[in-house]
Structure 1
Amino acid sequence: MKRTKVRLQIQSAGKFSDSSTIMVSEAIIKKWKIPLHQSLQLRFGSGRQEVNVVPLSQAGTMRIGDALASKWGLAHGHQLCLQYKSGARTLMIGPLLCVMVSRVYDQSPDKPFGANTAFCRELTEACTGAGAAVYFSTPDDVSGGDTVRGWRYTNRWEKTVFPLPNVIYNRLTSRKLDSRSSVQQFVASAKSRNQAIFFNEKYLNKTDVFDALRNESGLHIYLPESYLLRNFQQLKTMCTKYPVVFLKPITGSLGKGIIRIRRKPDGTYTTHTTTLVGARKQSFPSITALFHSISGKVKSQRHQIQKGLDLITVNGRPVDFRALVQRGETGQWDVTSIVARIAGNHHFVSNLARGGTLSPVKEALARSGHSREGHAKLKRAALQIAKGIETHVAGHFAELGIDLALDAQGRVWLIEVNSKPSKEDNTPLAPERKIRPSVKQLVQYVRFASKF
């Protein structure tokens, strides 16, 4: 597909005051065979405006009136992709991306999205380079109407009104926000009125993911034995079969609430439960006593019970790996990055929120005394699992954080799949200030999905 970028100029007076006249560079008019002085439709997201096009000698430019720019949330100097569809007599600029964020910190105008503000700035910069527009909206900003309130960055953060987008990227951080009626109405409206693409639409349930991936025989090798914990007998069977098992909240994140159960040679049991400062240890004389202790917790929140893995270690600390797998400019899955995560002191999970640290994969493998071949194995597994999610899990996903482990024998295991991978978990190991490949890949997929 041929692509053209135009830089917007906002005109404040004269012939542009009625929004019905726009000026476009002569070279672009010639390239796209755009008719002059005839009524055409200009589109930006769900925005529609009947316009006449007149030629402009200035190269690579589109000039529009300030009333239309204000109506659509367009800024002077913004660079966008342009297409002309002759059959529909429609001139299209975009794509327009809406990123759903959980909240805005009104008391921090320089960091309205808290720790995620840097990522939002980076995404804005990547969109500018690719000829796309992006705004950020909370569940309080959206509804089922024709317009959306949102935040944009133009040397400062400002709130304005935008049309419904071409693409919606879900970065909401809780299932409660995902299911809020305003969010559901907004998504339904954008889909029906503007055929919007909505990706990473929901959280993934740990047990549902494992059950779905079992439907593909080629993925069995990556799946440790695991089940939705239903009763005492199931706990007893797994603890008899394996010296270590894990209980994980099926809707948990950041390592919260994970319980490690270890059976000792004398038939007693110890549990370690994740906390903010480390792992809380308890001992039990029998599996019955253990179950009695945790029964309230597992009744109030469903847990997955999973075989414990003998993970590789660095200085005695368990190591796992986060692979970021994304769709890009062709819509196909690819592994953007893999980093090793080394558990912190007094922790048995490696999440950064629990004191874990990042390391390059090859360095972690070398420090653990394992072959570099592990890197290729991890990449292959991540790609296969992403394709398995696409095939067997309902929903549209464009990026997945896939947590993997290597055991002492060099075998790859799946720990979990995260549809809302933390951008902080994927901060670059190098200190240079530049747009990360993961952010560029995201914008490339937005262009592909919106056919820009």
Structure 2
Amino acid sequence: MSQPVLGILTLYLNDAKQLEEKSVYRRMIIEGGKLGLDVFVFTPMDVHASKEQVYAMVYDPKTGKWSRKWRALPAMIFDRCRIQKSARFQQLLRFRTRYNHLTFLNRPLRNKWTIHQTFSQKQRFRQHLPETLLYQSSTDLKRMLRSHPVVYIKPINGTGGRGILRIEKKAGAQGIFNIQGRRQNRRIISPRKVSLSQLDSVVRKWCIGTTFLAQQGIPLRLPSGRFHDYRMLVQKNGHGVWELTGMAGRVGAARSVTSNLHGGGHAVRAEKLLRGWLGSQERAVKVMKTAEKLGIEAAAYLEDCFSSLCELALDLAIDREGKIYILEVNPKPAREVFLRSGDIETYRKSLVRPLEYALWIHRNKEAPASSKVTEE
């Protein structure tokens, strides 16, 4: 059996060819070597199409140094590319089309609205969705505000808490709203009061340039005044089966309407945060088991509806009654939430599982048909 090769596909952040997750890739290359998996990193810019080769970034654990080597196009690809507004992203789209015949561990998911609509088709998931509308006019906003005291306006393709506006009806004041948020550059917009007519103008200006959603706000404010949620990571294991890798709590920065770590938030062990939120260890454990089942079923369902996935992060809101809401899903999740919460073993597992899954794919491709049936 030939040695399996996995190429980690990523994008440069800028013209200086910097990578966002270089330390993660280094660790995955080291762990891959222990498993007998040859791992390297490349971008669409590094592909020499006529030669079917890539000018790959390789890491040598013995010297602790990165270097460049010409390598054959890998048969298996772990796509870590996130959306950019750049020519580099257009190169990525062309790469995916041209090399569609290669084995991708994961394929891109659709935007937040399409995912919401897909979940809405199943009663199993419908009960775990906050009410969500595609924002098109002030009519949509007013409709949401009639039903919910808090509404979030969020971009259809946003990540990292960027571009989110929180709107809350001011108690005891008719037609007055508190608004606060984060701009696309993550800068915090301080809370301020506006009238309904001012609100309409603010939201219209906020939504210029892209498509936004209006979403029911779930009560997530801690006694400290900060907002929190939970990041759950489910991945396929070394047998090709979906499994929970871990779950961590995220607590937002002061004055922030989101809990994202890149926006100044911090990570906490999920069980500890949930125990304080729900009031008992027993309730926390019960809700976490329910969340685990929901996450695994959600990942399997989205893979059936769209295409191949090997991992999926779910951002969950859990109210005081223990009801679970799926806020967003992310097919290209970061793992640092586990590192920052002190859960080192889960962090390691989150890096190793895609490698073990790649080996499972390789074994099943190389094995004769009869042995494939036996393993399945």
Letter in 1 for 2:293: R
Q: 1:101 offset after TM fit, Å?
A: 1.8
Which SS does the other structure have where 2:178 is aligned?
strand
Alpha carbons of structure 1 residues 123 and 165: separation in structure 2 relative to 1, 3 Å: same
Residue equivalent to 1:450: 362
Q: 1:175 offset after TM fit, Å?
A: 4.4
State how far apart, in whole Å, the 2-side matches of 1:317 and 1:387 are: 33
Task: Kindly indicate whether the alpha-carbon contact (under 8 Å) linking 1:279 and 1:348 is maintained by their aligned counterparts in 2.
Answer: no
Residue equivalent to 1:8: none
1:234 maps onto 2:144 in alignment: no
> Residue by residue, what CA displacement relative to the aligned partner does 1:39-88 show, whole Å, maximum 9, x if unpaired?
xxxxxxxxxxxxxxxxxxxxxxxxxxxxxxxxxxxxxxxxxxxx1xxxxx
Q: 1:425 offset after TM fit, Å?
A: 3.3
1:411 maps onto 2:319 in alignment: no
> Residue by residue, what CA displacement relative to the aligned partner does 1:299-330 show, whole Å, maximum 9, x if unpaired?
42111111111126253322210001111222
State how far apart, in whole Å, the 2-side matches of 1:449 and 1:428 are: 31
What stretches of structure 2 of length at least 5 have no aligned partner?
Answer: 367-376
Residue equivalent to 2:271: 362
Residue equivalent to 2:195: 285
State how far apart, in whole Å, the 2-side matches of 1:353 and 1:134 are: 28
Letter in 2 for 1:183: L
Residue equivalent to 2:312: 400
Letter in 1 for 2:34: G
State how far apart, in whole Å, the 1-side matches of 2:15 and 2:140 are: 49
Residue equivalent to 1:139: 44
Letter in 1 for 2:188: G
State how far apart, in whole Å, the 1-side matches of 2:56 and 2:103 are: 18
The equivalences for 1:13-412 within 5 A come to 83=1, 93-103=2-12, 114=19, 116-145=21-50, 146-154=52-60, 155=63, 156-176=65-85, 180=89, 182-192=91-101, 196-202=102-108, 204-264=110-170, 265-266=172-173, 267-275=175-183, 276=186, 278-286=188-196, 288-311=197-220, 313=222, 315-370=224-279, 371-372=283-284, 373-392=286-305, 394-412=306-324
Which SS does the other structure have where 1:450 is aligned?
helix
Which SS does the other structure have where 1:212 is aligned?
helix
Task: Kindly indicate whether the alpha-carbon contact (under 8 Å) linking 2:12 and 2:88 is maintained by their aligned counterparts in 1.
Answer: no
Which SS does the other structure have where 1:386 is aligned?
helix
Letter in 2 for 1:337: G
How big is the alpha-carbon RMSD for the aligned residues of Structure 1 and Structure 2? 2.5
Task: Kindly indicate whether the alpha-carbon contact (under 8 Å) linking 1:144 and 1:186 is maintained by their aligned counterparts in 2.
Answer: no
State how far apart, in whole Å, the 1-side matches of 2:347 and 2:323 are: 34
Alpha carbons of structure 1 residues 177 and 100: separation in structure 2 relative to 1, 3 Å: farther
Task: Kindly indicate whether the alpha-carbon contact (under 8 Å) linking 2:233 and 2:314 is maintained by their aligned counterparts in 1.
Answer: yes
Task: Kindly indicate whether the alpha-carbon contact (under 8 Å) linking 2:316 and 2:326 is maintained by their aligned counterparts in 1.
Answer: yes
1:440 maps onto 2:352 in alignment: yes
Alpha carbons of structure 1 residues 380 and 434: separation in structure 2 relative to 1, 3 Å: closer
Alpha carbons of structure 1 residues 428 and 327: separation in structure 2 relative to 1, 3 Å: farther
Alpha carbons of structure 1 residues 261 and 236: separation in structure 2 relative to 1, 3 Å: same
Q: Percent identity?
A: 24
Q: 1:446 offset after TM fit, Å?
A: 0.9
Which SS does the other structure have where 2:69 is aligned?
strand
Higher-helix-fraction structure: 2
State how far apart, in whole Å, the 2-side matches of 1:351 and 1:227 are: 23
State how far apart, in whole Å, the 2-side matches of 1:255 and 1:377 are: 26
Letter in 2 for 1:390: E
Q: 1:391 offset after TM fit, Å?
A: 2.4
Residue equivalent to 1:47: none
Bigger drift between 172-181 and 247-256 goes to 172-181
- Structure 1-normalised TM-score? 0.72
Q: 1:377 offset after TM fit, Å?
A: 2.1
Q: 1:202 offset after TM fit, Å?
A: 2.3
Alpha carbons of structure 1 residues 217 and 351: separation in structure 2 relative to 1, 3 Å: same
Higher-strand-fraction structure: 1
Task: Kindly indicate whether the alpha-carbon contact (under 8 Å) linking 2:9 and 2:79 is maintained by their aligned counterparts in 1.
Answer: yes
Task: Kindly indicate whether the alpha-carbon contact (under 8 Å) linking 2:338 and 2:346 is maintained by their aligned counterparts in 1.
Answer: no
State how far apart, in whole Å, the 1-side matches of 2:87 and 2:11 are: 9
State how far apart, in whole Å, the 2-side matches of 1:224 and 1:379 are: 19
Which SS does the other structure have where 1:122 is aligned?
helix
Q: 1:295 offset after TM fit, Å?
A: 0.9
Q: 1:449 offset after TM fit, Å?
A: 2.3
Residue equivalent to 2:370: none
Alpha carbons of structure 1 residues 178 and 367: separation in structure 2 relative to 1, 3 Å: farther
Aligned residues: 352
Alpha carbons of structure 1 residues 243 and 441: separation in structure 2 relative to 1, 3 Å: same
Alpha carbons of structure 1 residues 428 and 130: separation in structure 2 relative to 1, 3 Å: farther
1:421 maps onto 2:333 in alignment: yes
Letter in 2 for 1:412: I
Which SS does the other structure have where 1:152 is aligned?
strand
Q: 1:296 offset after TM fit, Å?
A: 2.7
Residue equivalent to 1:53: none
